[in-house]
Amino acid sequence: MDLALMIGKIMNFLLNLDISTMKAIVFGASAIGAGCAMIAGLGAGIGEGYTAGKAVEAVVKAPEQKGNIITTMILGQAVAESTGIFALVVALILLYANPMLEVFN
């Protein structure tokens, strides 16, 4: 099937929907997008756990460098956590302050 024909059929389908159905589609897509955004929080948690484990191993090997190791670990974990926080903000915007819903009001 030709791509232009397929896009035309999809647009024709979407243009013939009523407002409540289109709102439901936007809400559903927003929920899926928020769930996908929160996968970044999983990655941040794994990265922070791995960093803490390696820092403990480093302190065991070189106890005299404990201050430098812990400082570097905390800085790295803060950077990793910022990814999770940004993902949370995106998810909250998609769920509660979705700009696409303004189109239907």
- Please answer whether residues 22 and 104 qualify as being in contact, where contact means their C-beta atoms are separated by less than 8 angstroms: yes
The verdict on residue 13 lying in a domain is no
The verdict on residue 19 lying in a domain is no
Q: Residue 94: give the domain boundaries.
A: 39-99
- As for how many domains the chain has, the answer is 1
The verdict on residue 46 lying in a domain is yes
The verdict on residue 83 lying in a domain is yes
The verdict on residue 21 lying in a domain is no
Tens-digit pLDDT profile for the chain (105 aa)?
A: 689 999 989 888 888 888 888 888 888 999 999 999 988 888 888 989 999 999 999 999 999 999 999 999 999 999 989 988 999 999 999 889 887 877 776
**Is the full-model pTM beyond 0.85?**
no
The verdict on residue 57 lying in a domain is yes
Q: How many angstroms separate the first and last alpha carbons of the chain?
A: 36
The verdict on residue 24 lying in a domain is no
Q: Which residue bears the tokens 């024909």? A: 5
The verdict on residue 27 lying in a domain is no
What single letter denotes the amino acid at residue 51?
A: T
CA distance 46 to 23: 36
CATH of the domain at 60: 1.20.20.10
CA distance 72 to 51: 10
